[in-house]
Amino acid sequence: AQTVTQSQPEMSVQEAETVTLSCTYDTSESNYYLFWYKQPPSRQMILVIRQEAYKQQNATENRFSVNFQKAAKSFSLKISDSQLGDTAMYFCAFTRVASGTYKYIFGTGTRLKVLA
């Protein structure tokens, strides 16, 4: 069975600094997708970034980038130039590429606080 682990329940970072959130996963699949979602205080879940396992190039979206280490089964999120609006819960998620698969597996989340 696949699992997703986020070992940092809470983190804080100064505004304009860089922070990295960790995510590890366990799977025997070779092809899958990984996601980072953000849940601000409004509770609306928002997709931050998405990575396809067969692509070696790390995904980036503006200030957000990932460090995808397939062999180590690690998928960390780096937030550069942190802003107060980045304060949120961040969830890592996994889904495998297989016929009949429709589910995501989520980690327990990391609460990030950006300090002014």
Partner 1 sequence: SQTIHQWPATLVQPVGSPLSLECTVEGTSNPNLYWYRQAAGRGLQLLFYSVGIGQISSEVPQNLSASRPQDRQFILSSKKLLLSDSGFYLCAWAPGRATDTQYFGPGTRLTVL
Q: How far is the CB of 91 from partner 1 (least distance, A)?
A: 7
Tell me which DSSP letter residue 103 carries.
-
45 touches partner 1 (CB under 8 A): yes
Q: How far is the CB of 102 from partner 1 (least distance, A)?
A: 5
Cα separation, 89 vs 99, whole angstroms = 31
Closest C-alpha among 59, 93, 86, 78 to residue 21: 78
| Closer by beta carbon to partner 1, 64 or else 106 | 106
97 touches partner 1 (CB under 8 A): yes
When binding is defined by CB under 8 A, the residue of 2, 11, 29, 50 that contacts partner 1 is 50
| Closer by beta carbon to partner 1, 23 or else 79 | 23
Q: Which two tokens stand for residue 102?
A: 């429709």
Up-side HSE of residue 101: CA atoms within 13 Å toward CB?
14
Cα separation, 51 vs 32, whole angstroms = 9
**Interface contacts to partner 1, rule CB under 8 A:** 32-33, 35, 37, 42-47, 50, 52, 91, 95-98, 100-104, 106-109
